[in-house]
């Protein structure tokens, strides 16, 4: 016979969110959405499950290995449980909002499910909150979403952010431009920041790739190092665009700490321009990431997604709720008044021999006495 504890077990990477964390998370999510709205981003709510071909088409192909699949008993077609919401926003922009004025500014919040967690983030059910800016290739769009990410996190109390900018297309463009044969080995060496292996894999171009590796750091110094490199063609255009974006971010958010890693691309495989990751000192993992990509119908787009589990780790724990216990006999009008004032008012449904003890048992910080909430000792 299965015990109640055994029947309550959840699959690895899934968990129940209990009080007060659930309410705290919901409040932070709504505060972020409200901040996005103040910048003109309108909320959309795509479904949890879609047909496989729409969910995994285009940029969604990058999430194929993390997507749960199931058969739709109605249509007999394969469906996927979303592993990322960005691809759904791209679909909405290219279909339901195809005739809407560009650029589109959209926001979203919702849960995603992934086949596997990671060592840093073992959770498989994640809550995502983010924005997408669709229909503009201007550097100002890149700068706007970076500045908005910082502004919205600051609005909910996350401070001392650091944003790391990257160019995931730079190395592939150079590999193509220079005709480097063993691109996979070079890419792996750059990912692991292994200067000796980079030099060996780059061959006659070791000086250039060594300089790219060494350029990573605070934005002003990194841009000087990158601008000094003798790059041509589309690689040079990538550097010029990054310089423009950095300048616009500095104007919009001069207090923001920016770093640059020109060779980073892990997790940015489908991005087509400037990408970024958001960090806070002392908090494990990224609070979010974003960057430029191609949305449905070939439209240029950029945006970001916050990982709420990490965002919440960067915030102080929630304050204790103002909960007042109302003994039997307190008029309903008094309960309504207290709730209007922001109290969580718990009305007794039967007499209690020890009112204070009952209030504590129910997690109340106050008890109603003599016409007002009185703090418990």
Rounded CA separation 83/60 (Å): 9
Give pLDDT, residue 16.
Answer: 93
Q: Is the dihedral of CA 118, 65, 63, 25 positive or negative?
A: negative
Give pLDDT, residue 8.
Answer: 76
Rounded CA separation 211/233 (Å): 18
pLDDT tens figures, 176-222: 999 888 888 999 999 889 999 999 998 999 999 999 999 999 999 99
Quote the DSSP letter at residue 95: T
Give pLDDT, residue 7.
Answer: 67
- Is the bond preceding residue 103 a cis peptide, omega within 30 degrees? yes
How long a stretch of residues is the chain? 377
Give pLDDT, residue 338.
Answer: 96
Give pLDDT, residue 57.
Answer: 81
What's the pTM?
A: 0.91
Name the stretches of the chain with pLDDT < 50: none
pLDDT tens figures, 253-302: 999 999 999 998 777 677 889 999 999 999 998 999 999 999 878 899 99
Helix axes 206-214, 170-178, angle to 10 degrees: 170
Helix axes 183-191, 170-178, angle to 10 degrees: 150
Q: Does domain 12-167+254-313 have CATH number 3.30.930.10?
A: yes
Residues 153/278, Cβ–Cβ less than 8 Å: yes
Structure-token match 């006659």, residue found: 204
């Amino acid at each position: 016979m299965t015990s109640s504890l055994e029947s309550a077990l959840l699959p690895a990477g899934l968990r129940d969110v209990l009080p007060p964390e659930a309410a705290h998370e919901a409040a932070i999510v709504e505060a972020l959405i409200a901040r996005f709205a103040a910048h003109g981003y309108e909320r959309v709510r795509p479904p949890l499950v879609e047909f496989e071909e729409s969910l995994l088409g285009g940029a969604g192909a990058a999430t194929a290995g993390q997507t749960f699949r199931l058969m739709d008993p109605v249509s007999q077609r394969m469906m996927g449980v979303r592993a990322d919401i960005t691809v759904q926003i791209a679909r909405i922009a290219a279909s339901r909002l195809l005739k809407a004025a560009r650029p589109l500014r959209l926001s979203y919040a919702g849960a995603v499910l992934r086949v596997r967690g990671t060592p840093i983030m073992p959770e498989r059910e994640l809550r995502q909150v983010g924005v997408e800016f669709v229909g503009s290739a201007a550097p100002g769009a890149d700068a706007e979403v970076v500045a908005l990410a910082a502004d919205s996190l600051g609005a909910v109390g996350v401070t001392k952010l650091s944003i790391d900018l990257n160019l995931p297309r730079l190395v592939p463009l150079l590999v193509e431009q220079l005709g480097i044969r063993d691109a996979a080995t070079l890419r792996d060496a750059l990912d692991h920041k292994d200067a000796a292996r980079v030099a060996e894999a780059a061959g006659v171009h070791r000086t250039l790739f060594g300089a790219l590796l060494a350029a990573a750091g605070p934005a002003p110094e990194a841009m000087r190092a990158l601008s000094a490199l003798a790059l041509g063609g589309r690689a040079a255009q990538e550097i010029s665009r990054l310089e423009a974006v950095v300048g616009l971010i500095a104007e919009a958010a001069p207090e923001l700490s920016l770093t640059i890693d020109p060779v980073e691309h892990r997790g940015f495989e489908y991005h087509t321009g400037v990408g970024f990751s958001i960090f806070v000192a002392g908090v494990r993992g990224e609070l979010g990431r974003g960057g430029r990509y191609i949305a449905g119908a070939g439209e240029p787009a950029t945006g970001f997604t916050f990982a709420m589990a990490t965002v919440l780790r960067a915030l102080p724990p929630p304050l204790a709720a103002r909960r007042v216990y109302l003994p039997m006999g307190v008029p309903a009008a008094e309960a309504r008044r207290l709730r209007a004032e922001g109290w969580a008012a718990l009305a007794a449904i039967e007499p209690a021999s020890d009112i204070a003890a009952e209030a504590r048992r129910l997690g109340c910080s106050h008890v109603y006495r003599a016409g007002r909430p009185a703090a418990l000792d």
